[in-house]
Every structure is written in structure tokens, then in C-alpha cells.
Amino acid sequence: MRGRLKIFLGYADGVGKTYAMLEAAQQRRLEGVDVVVAWIDERQSVQTLRLLDGFQRIAEENEQADLDQVLRRRPQLALVDELAHRNQPGARHQSRAQDVEELLEAGIDVYTTLNIQSVESLTDIVRQITGLSVDETVPDSILDEADELELVDLPAEELMQRVREGKLRLPVVETFFRKGNLTALREMAMRRAAMRVDDQMRDYMADQRIPGPWQAGERVMVGLSSHPLGDRLIRAGRRLADSLNAEWFVVFVETPGHLRMRPEQRARLLSMLRAAEEMGARTVILSGETVAETLLEFARKENITRLLIGRPARPSWLDFWGGSTIDQILRRSGSIEVFVIGGAEDEPDPGLGRWVVFRKGWRYVVSLGLVSLATLAGLGLGRSIQPVDMVMLYMVAALAAGAFLGRGPAVLNAGAGALAFAFFFTEPYFTFSIRDAAHLVRFLGLGAAGLVVSSLSSLLRDQVRASRRREEEAMALNALSRDLTIALGLDEMLAAVVRNVALTFGREAALLLPEGERLAVKACSPGLRLSEEAWEAVNWSFLHNKQCGLGTGTFQDAAVRCLPLATRDGLVGVLAVAPRETARLLSPEQRSLLEGFASLAALAIERARLSEQASQTAALRTAERLQAALLNSISHDLRTPLATITGAVSSLLDAEQSETELDRAMRLDLLENAQEEAERLNQLVGNLLDMSRLEGGTMKIKRTACDVQDIIGAALERAARRLGERPVHTSIPANLPVVQMDFVLMVQVLYNLLENAHKYSPPGSALEIGAEAQPEQMEIWVADRGLGIPAGDLERVFEKFYRVQRAGGPPGTGLGLSICRGIVEAHGGKIWAENRTGGGTVMRLALMQQPDGGERRAEG
């Protein structure tokens, strides 16, 4: 369960926020609540510091709170002073607000203090009021999500009196502690507290379904660009949305012109979008031909009532050149209220660098060079072609400039081409005086066509670059998806992810998956070694399901960036990526692509685990079916001999109890039947035990030098009662060499083969058994003249519980041949079945001739 957050809000240092927090904590301690002081600013009044008596303090000397120690201690309530404080380098989180968030996620309640000037959306107003910039801020969402907000107030005059008397042990900025400043800040804090109370009242009315004066909701939208003014726009949008209690959007329109956005501009834009999300906005990125048309279309679709846009401080001639987006929005806004916020002089337009400062001047030089080449070519041709044809040379130069040099050089090329045409190829020559109307038309047409062609070609070039970049990203994702699809197992999948990360991003990667209660490295680049800081970041990322490490606000000193691998059913691991050069960070596009890699990896890992679970489930189902078949077969085979034995014993018992005389022949027949069925039952139980020992690896092979003729004789003697009068022909050459094997187990094998031949051959038909010495092995066989075995079942007859399906076939469990194979393979031999010419089956087994004896354990 998430902990509860209470914020003691004040308008300046010295109003008593810490005192109020400690006083409330003392009351909770008296109620039996376990309270610890995670961090407190020592620069407090003596009266405030006295309230620390009775509390355990986590940070006695250090300025930095020990977050891990608080988490291990797990108090019910933690006191954290100065919520907006920025942590020292080396801390897990960049700001104390992130520490508080982790404590809340761990289920620990938190009391903390905050000044109103540290609220992110109010920093612009604070700078206007006090002239001071606030560096340490917290997102507005923290105040929105706080369970309680208590305003700690003190009249401005009393606070100023405390400052004059030197009662504040904090550093004092004289220009800050002025009555006008403090009064304005006090009003801001009261307004924020009042808004909080109003929100709570509205939430209560909604939860309790209390009817009220519900009005049509306001909706605010901020039109964003990569200009630094966007930060102020977002904060202004947040304030306006708060004042109206309205839902608000932050929207960026990506036009074809934005395809040329520089990396630092795109990074600034994505940073502002993340800041807007932290403040509670819904961020949207749209694509369109023009900013004004796309913004207004979205505003009407989402029923936006108020629109905020920025007007950067830039020369007015640029608006004349490119048209003013603000003017277009104002003309077409209709009933939407539009608020325009002007940029300050110290916020230069980063887009001006494309027009005022030629950052890549060589392109403009090359552009003028193309005009010179076209002019020289025209002069070389002399008067052999008409001036109208000469225009094509300059058109080709303009097209080349637009395609290869960019928009600015292309525009310069078109203008210079038109002037060169007028100077060199329009009468009067070598002057800029144009007397003929036709020449004027050619001049203007060349300039206009050059501008259009150069702009279109430059736009096409930018679109091709963007398409190529998107194509490369799609190809990278497709390559990873393909490798994951064809991978045969989890290990191959993980190796494919590491390999694709290295190829696409030029970085080393490691995949860590849960193993018991810890994470373990399952795949890793050869040169990557995770440091202690990296392991802490990996574990934290997995525990909190958040990115951390290099390039984030958490574990900034770790040499890796950690991305949790999340699926719908939870976390499956962590992807850790490390640059080969520590200072080289991922671009926003690369971060987005890497997140796509992490998503694909998470899905692949989940798929592999589901596949493994499905295989295990299928194996369990197969085992259940086999067990059911075994129970059905064994129950029948057990009941038959038991019924015979029970019947014989019951007949003899009844005769004894009733003093009925049974002749000797009848008693002998009953006893023989009971003995035969008892032996059959004993054999069945023995087969089950043998199979169990084979599968468990507990059957031991005791090799001794054995005569094959003795083994065959012992098997025939054991099977004599079972075979009855059936003839058995033996074929045993003289002087067979002895073979190292287990005498008892090999007799069991031959007995099972003889019994199997007896069951599956016509009564009275002869059986055959024999042996033959080969150069390196001894072969023994048992043959019959039965129906034979279908070709597709010759291998399967040695599987557990498998029996050839024939109508009216003899009963059995299907274990005899399986036991034979287990014993023979434990001897290092092999056994197989063959169909005989003329009908019947021959079972053959081959044993290697090993001169040495000893003991060997069978492995099933």
C-alpha cells in the first residue's frame, strides 16, 4: 500500500513550516506511531530544534539523507525537510522529491515542508515579483497527489521583524525579504491552498453524488515549439488550468520544416514535453502542413476553450518573410480564446541561426559556385541558344542546390541566378537595366521558379532524410523481431537482443532475469562488467519498474542505463545498456528506439516462458495419460490373477469348513492354478519395480564373466512352466567366448523375450533362441512364427506401455520389452526387432565383449 504524503506549505523561509511539521510529528509519536527524522535542516531556531527530542535521526551529521537506511528501518512516518532540495552528486536520485516518492512507494508515510516559490509552474511569477530565479523546484503533480496540504502562515510584518532581529539562522537575501515580495508570495500560497480545498470539495461531491452547480468544463491547450519560451508557456498553462479547474493539453505540431530541427532543439522539445507531463498535462505530437491549421483543427476536435501560444522576441521582417503563425491563429480561432505570451530579449530564437548566422557557410559558397558554373556555361555557348533556353541552366543549378545543399543555399542560388541572368543574358547586356517586357517576364519567372523548385527540392530532401531515419529505425526493429522469431530458445533470444543493441546503438548490453530472489546476468556483451553502482541501479529499476542510470535523474553515476522489461503480467527482467564512451549519451530518437527494443525483448522473454510452461503442461498431460493407461492396464492384470488365487483359496477353505472331501486331483489343480497366478502376479510386480529402478537410476549392473549357453539354459528353465509343451529350438555354436554381463538381469531379459514370443505366436508353433559371436560383440536372438510387427511399430514396441493394437490380442502392460531395452542399454548394448521372412518376429540384442569386470550403475 502506498504511503500518505502531507506537505507543510509556506510562502518563505522562517514562517514556521519545520516547527509545525515537528509539532505534528510529536503528536503522532504520542499516539504510538513509529516516527524517524530522515533529514532536517540544522539551521533552525533553538525552539524548533528542541522538538527533535525523542525522535530517531537517520542523518545526524551528514547533510545528505540516507535513503536506503530509511527503507531498511521502515518506520511508519518519515520526516523530510525541504522537499525541493537538490541532492548532492553521487546520490541515487537527483532531487529529494524523488527520494520522497520512493518512500511513499515503499508504504512509508512522509511529512515534508515546501515553499510556494519552489512550485514549478510558479517560478516565472516568482522571478517577476522578486527578481530572483529559483533553481530548486518540484513538479506541480506532487502537490496534486499529496494526501494533505497544510498552510503555515505568518504575517509579513512579523516575518520581517524576525529577520531584523536575527532570529533566522538561514542565509537572508535582503532584496527578497521585502514587504511587497512577501505579501505577493503569501497570497500565492493562500490561493494554492484554497485551490486544494476546492479540489477536495469537488472530489467529495463527485464521490458522494451530491448535486451541484456543475458547469461545462473549460479546456486549456498550450501550443508548443522548441523555443526556450516553451517552458514559460507550460507553466502559464498549468496556472491557467488550475485557476479554471480545467483539463489541459500541451501540443506540438511537426511540420515539414521541423524535419530540419537540430538535435539540441529536439532534445529541448522532448524535455519540455516530459516537464508538461510531470505537471499533469496531456501531451500530444501532431503532424501537419501548417502549425495554425493543425492546432486549430485539434482544438475544435477536443473542444478547447482557451489556447496559449508564444511570440518569441525576433525581428519583424522574419514574420513578413515567412508569415506569422500567430496572425493566422488569431484570424481563424473563432470562439476559442487565444492568449499570446511574448518572449524576453534574453530568450533568443534558436531558429534565427538558420537565417542570420550561416552556421555552414561552405554550402552558400558552393551554391554561388553553381550559379557561376551555369553563367560560364551560358557564356561559352554564346549566342547559339535563345535566352529562354538559358533559363534551364539556372533551373538545374537551383534544383541541385535544393537537393544537396539545403533550403537557405537554394534560395540564395535562385536569387543569384535570376540576377546573373538579367546581367549577362538580357539586353542591354552587362547591366541590370531591363527594357523589354519579355525579358522582365523571364527574369521574374526565373526567380519565382527557382524559389519554388529550390524550396520543393529542399523539402523533398528533408523528407527523404526523415524517411530514411524512420526506415532505419523500422529496419532495426524488424531485424530484432526477426531474430527473436527464429530463435530456438530463451538463450538464443537473449543473445539476439544483445547483438542487435550492439549493432544498432554501438553499445554494450546485458540482460538480467530473475533467478530465485535475485537478478542474474543471462546474456551480456563480452566487454561489459557491471560495477557495484550498476548493480544497485539494475535492482532499483526492477523493483520500481522505472528507468534509471546514465542520462536519468536516478543513479546518475552508474555507467549503464537500465530499462525494465515490462509486460502485461509484470516485469520479466532488466536491460542494461552501457556506452563505450561514458560521455556519449543517447539522443531522444535513440532512447525511443531503445525502449522499443526493450518492449520486444520483454515480449520475447514472456513468449519463451509461456512456451516452456506449455511444454511442461503437455508433458504433464502426457504423463497423466500414461499413468491412467498404466492404472487401467495394471488394474486388469492384477485383478485376473488375484481373482484366480482368491477363488482357489476360497474353494479349499469352504471344503475344509464344510468337511467336504475333495479328491486329490481337484486339490492339486486348485493349488497349481493359485501358484501359477501368484507367479504371474509376482512377475507383474517385478516388472514394475524393475522399470522404477531403471528410471530412477538405482539398478546396478554387476558384471561377471558369463557363458551365454548357461544364460540361455537358465532362461529356458525359468520359462518352462510358461511355455508348457511348446517346442523351442536352440542354436548355440560351440566354443562361444564368455561375455562380461550381469547374469541375473540378462536371464530376465531372455525370459521376457521368450514370454513375449509365446504370447504373440500361434499355440504349438516352435520358438527359436540362439547366439552368435561377432568380431566385437555377442548377438543373442529369440524368434517366433507369429503375425509379425507393423513396420511403423518396430521401434515403438520398446516404449513404455506401448502395445501393437490388434483385435483380440493377449493382455499385458507393455512393460516387458521396455525393461529389456533398459537392461541391455545399461550394459552398453542395443536391442531391436525385425520381421522374419515367411512370417514372425525376431528380437535381437547385441552386447559388447568387455574383458574386464566390475560394477556399473544403470541409467534410465
**Which is more confident, 419 or 562?**
562
For residues 736 and 656, state if they share a domain.
Answer: no
678-687 pLDDT, tens digit per residue, is 877 776 676 6
Query: Are 444 and 429 in the same domain?
Result: yes
Cβ-in-10-Å burial (0-12, 13-18, 19+) of 767 comes to buried
List CB contacts of 614: < 8 A, sequence separation 6 or more. Answer: none
**Domain total for the chain?**
5
State how far the Cα of 751 lies from the Cα of 35, in Å rounded to an integer.
80
Range with the lowest mean pLDDT among 87-101, 439-453, 740-754? Answer: 439-453
The candidate with the shortest Cα–Cα distance to 335, out of 305, 362, 364, is 305
Q: For residues 699 and 622, state if they share a domain.
A: no
Question: How many CB atoms are closer than 10 A to CB 174?
Answer: 7
Residues 163 and 31 in one domain: yes
What was the pLDDT predicted at 809?
Answer: 61
Lowest mean pLDDT among 36-40, 456-460, 505-509: 456-460
Domain at 135, CATH number? 3.40.50.300
Residue 238 dihedral angles phi and psi, to the nearest 5°:
-65, -45
We report the CATH number of the domain holding residue 603 as: 3.30.450.40
What is the percent of the chain with per-residue pLDDT over 70, rounded to a whole number?
Answer: 79
* Higher local confidence (pLDDT), 84 or 457: 84
In a domain, 569, yes or no: yes
pLDDT in tens, 300-359: 888 888 999 888 765 554 454 445 778 888 888 888 888 888 765 555 555 544 443 344
* 645 and 701 co-located in one domain: no
Bridge partners of 539, per DSSP, are none
Residue 379 lies in a domain: yes
Q: Are residues 91 and 203 in the same domain?
A: yes
C-alpha to C-alpha distance for 377 and 382, rounded to whole angstroms: 9
What is the domain extent for residue 27? 5-207
Distance separating alpha carbons of residues 432 and 453, to the nearest angstrom? 24
**Rounded Cα distance, 195 and 245, in Å:** 9
- Residue 479 is assigned to a structural domain of this protein: no
Q: Is residue 763 located within the same domain as residue 719? A: yes
CB of 769 closer than 8 Å to CB of 750: yes
Task: Tell me the CATH number at 247.
Answer: 3.40.50.620
Q: What is the DSSP string of 572-640?
A: EEEEEEEESSTT-PPPHHHHHHHHHHHHHHHHHHHHHHHHHHHHHHHHHHHHHHHHHHHHHHHHHHHHH
Whether residues 372 and 338 fall in one domain? no
Using an 8 Å Cβ cutoff, are 169 and 160 in contact?
A: no
The model's pTM: 0.55
Report whether 26 contacts 54 (CB < 8 A): yes
Q: Which three cell numbers stand for residue 838?
A: 515367411
- Give domain status of residue 675, yes or no: no
Residue 101: burial class (beta carbons within 10 Å; 0-12, 13-18, 19+): buried
Asked which of 175, 207, 239 is the last residue of a domain, the reply is 207
| 679 within some domain | no
Rounded to an integer, what distance in angstroms lies between the CA atom of residue 183 and that of residue 168? 19
Q: Is residue 819 part of a domain?
A: yes
186 and 322 belong to one structural domain: no
Q: The domain that contains 714 carries what CATH number?
A: 3.30.565.10
Residue 512 lies in a domain: no
CA distance 734 to 22: 105
683 or 750, which is more confident?
A: 750
Answer whether residue 588 is part of any domain.
yes
User: String of b and e for 301-310 (b: at least 16 CB within 10 Å)?
Assistant: eeebbbbbbb
Q: Does 111 lie in the same domain as 14?
A: yes
Do 450 and 324 belong together in one domain?
no
Inter-CA distances, 209 with 200, 201, 599, 604, Å: 14, 12, 41, 46
599 and 619 belong to one structural domain: yes
